[in-house]
Amino acid sequence: MQFPDAGSVRVLAGADFVSTYCTAKPGLVCGLPAIAWTGASSASSSSGFSVTAGPARGQQLGILLYSNSGPASLPFQGGTLCVGPSPLLRGPAVSSGGTLDQCDGQFALDVNAFASGVAGGDPDPFLSAPGTEVFCQWWGRDSVSTGSFLSDALRYIVRP
């Protein structure tokens, strides 16, 4: 058997290695939260890869759930947990900012800063291991009386 590409390497210049997946659980007040990102993941940078979710109610707490065990589709608080549960880890609790009781908040965490230890919490070492595929999803408090929301999910590969 012959392999025409044997010994060759392909480089995908500029490939982003980031994509969204899964279905979000809407908050009862602010609607469907969407996960987004800016920048690029990097094992050698302590800033520049912000993962966000919104709209969210102002002045509420949220947590970025993350794992390297793959995507999932598990029932969780009336929605779907889209991040593999073994291990299921979390970033530090962050405020959505915005105005109390308004839908102008947004959760944000610079994952590079978190992975390098400058954003609080207890990051898992795989967040700064080049080539690691990471899966993450925002959980946020909608309000004390109406419960929580779950964003859709994000998958990315840690760059050098």
Considering its fold, how many domains does the chain have in total? 1
In this structure, what are the phi and psi dihedrals at residue 50, rounded to the nearest 5 degrees?
A: -95, 125
**14 confidence band (pLDDT: 50, 70, 90):** very low
The pLDDT-based confidence of 6 (bands split at 50, 70, 90) is low
Asked if the model's pLDDT at residue 3 lies above 80, the reply is no
The pLDDT of residue 34: 95
Asked if residue 4 belongs to a domain, the reply is no
Segment 86-110 mean pLDDT: 94
pLDDT in the model for residue 12 = 42
Range of the domain at 128: 18-157
Q: Which two tokens stand for residue 78?
A: 């009336």
**In this structure, what is the dihedral angle of CA atoms 121, 125, 130, 136, given to the nearest 10 degrees?**
-50
**115, 123 Cβ separation under 8 angstroms:** yes
Asked whether the predicted pLDDT for residue 17 surpasses 70, the reply is yes
Please report whether residue 7 resides in a domain.
no
Would residue 8 count as lying in a domain? no
Domain annotation covers residue 10? no
What residues are paired with 56 via a beta bridge?
Answer: 105
Over residues 6-19, mean pLDDT = 58
pLDDT of 136 over the 70 cut: yes
Q: How confident is the model at residue 15 (pLDDT cuts 50, 70, 90)?
A: very low
The answer to whether residue 79 sits within a structural domain is: yes
- The pLDDT assigned to 5 comes to 55
CATH at 61: 2.60.40
Identify the pLDDT of residue 4: 54
- Give 34-84 pLDDT, tens digit per residue: 999 999 999 988 879 999 999 999 999 999 999 999 999 999 988 999 999
